[in-house]
Structure 1
């Protein structure tokens, strides 16, 4: 039976939440008015997530597909893989840690079923995470909205759903080192937002580390904005202006005999400033060049090692 609703769930170091996740999905499936399929994409997880899912899905009440990637390709690559595997008319994406309530999927599907929207995003109205996590998340999304995409909600986006047609357009863009959420907002479409409160994590430790957040922010900036190049050009113009002014002052002082020997400090400061500026500029240009080079390779964004299907226990 073809599923009307699909849910894609990337899995990485989530063995502690597998049992609760399957229980929540069984409960969600019972409340939907049409068949549900769930695509689990195990992103090279080093724990027992795959084994636990394989065991648990044999008794699940919903249709499921369990996909194992050959290694860890990253959350966005896993989500993209799951989106490609999904067969439903409406497809949602959620995390395996249950910090986003699975019941959100039902609200998303209801909005999409009305035919008025292409994509629905979950908008955080609050979060029960630790204080430091809230603080750094607020800084991250503030920078993201200021310098990358201003139409992203203030609290950021972690969960969403979209129509099959909109999914096809999304997965057709196979650029490497990009941002899946960034692409969704770049695509535009008819959007809806559903508010929710992010729950406290009950199992394990989040793999979404500060390092990964910084990498994600850089990928987003370099994929969707030329701001770094424009800032570099502005800094270069400012540096040229300062150099021209100082040069004029030095020349004037020399002509009137104000000094005999040029100052060592001023020379070193000028050398250090422009040397640092050049190095910084090379780094920015190199980031753009590297991303362009990565896309010319046309390598697959993920590699599937194993695919298992589970029909679901109905009735």
Structure 2
């Protein structure tokens, strides 16, 4: 197979019949060189049973994986990529909110050998107003604190070649962010904008709680922003406490403060309170560096190695 489509499935039984029709049409467009890997992520509905019953009737090669429980969409994607047999890989949502043409565009760009990873970024979305507002805030914070290169519309789907897939699977981190890892790896990257379609069946399982958990995982796995913020607050607080302490001391000497012990108490509380924040930030910096080493990410990733030997080898 030249192309592999990985589809995580969770509570998608209503959209499966339409999904299989779309995939059959995609297979024709890709010259019958496409396989599909369905990864049912511990779905409590009939998604697995429906796919299992349809598996031998499909007109394209397919694999069906079942997780022992719900681990999340990103672990499901990793499971699918690990067993995929193609040369180029694309991730597609089972709810069909991403147009099938987007995956075709991914594969065309990858097959031309101009890019290693292609990322779909939402230009617009036909979602409820409050959902669009919440998504905008979420991805804005993500750009600010985690991945500055993140597109404004966020990322839901991507495609990559085998070299990128292999490097991505080597990063075996729990409680991390697959999307942030994609940007961390680098390689030759292309953004493809699209309009997210209206969800026709079911409802999204991407709840507010999952979004908060995902944001926290991304922050703690990819940035020391909270620690640096703590240090800045500590330094600023120490400066402010010294200024306020000087004011309290002057007021005490000039006789404006008559309460016994008030000046000394305020000086101690202000100064050592902010010094405590600064100390926590400094200790946190050392802890962050130790945590970074524990993830065992490579110091660098070689994307291309060109040799001037007789064979003129070109290896990835």
TM range (shorter): 0.7 to 0.9
Aligned partners of 1:79, 1:290: CA distance in 2, in Å?
29
The whole-number CA distance in structure 1 between the counterparts of 2:237 and 2:275 is 11
1:255 Cα deviation (Å)? Answer: 2.1
Post-superposition offset of 1:274: 5.8
Q: CA contact under 8 A between 2:91 and 2:159: conserved in structure 1?
A: yes
Aligned-partner Cα distance in 2 for 1:54–1:20: 16
Match of 1:196 among 174, 190, 194: 194
How far apart are the structure 2 equivalents of 1:236 and 1:57?
60
Distance 1:290 1:94 in 2: 36
Q: Sort the Cα spacing of 1:74 and 1:105 in 2 relative to 1 into closer, same or farther, 3 A.
A: same
Residue 277 of structure 1, CA deviation: 5.8
1:238 to 233, 236, 239: 236
Distance 1:276 1:23 in 2: 62
Structure 1 unmatched ranges of 5 or more: 297-315
Name the counterpart of 2:13: 15
C-alpha RMSD of matched pairs (Å): 3.0
Structure 2: give runs of 5+ residues left out of the alignment: 297-316
Residue of structure 2 in register with 1:207 after alignment: 205
Deviates more, 1:238-247 or 1:38-47: 238-247
Q: Which residue of 1 aligns with 2:90?
A: 92
Contact 1:8/1:91 (<8 A) preserved = yes
Given that residues 124 and 195 in structure 1 are in contact (C-alpha distance below 8 angstroms), is that contact kept between their aligned partners in structure 2? yes
- State whether residues 238 and 274 of structure 2, in contact with CA within 8 Å, keep that contact through their aligned partners in structure 1: no
1:16 partner SS: coil
Q: Does 1:258 align with 2:252?
A: no
Mapped contact 2:234–2:275 kept (Cα < 8 A): no
The number of aligned residues is: 293
TM-score, L = length of structure 1: 0.84
CA distance in 2, matches of 1:173, 1:115: 24
Report the alpha carbon displacement of residue 294 of structure 1 after superposing the two structures with TM.
Answer: 9.0
Aligned in 2, Cα 1:291/1:135: closer, same or farther, shift over 3 Å? Answer: farther
1:49 counterpart residue number: 47
Aligned partner of 2:141 in structure 1 is 143
When normalised by structure 2's length, the TM-score is 0.84
Q: How does 1:32-71 map to 2 (within 5 A)?
A: 32-71=30-69
- Aligned-partner SS, 2:15: helix
Change (3 A) 1:40 1:221: same
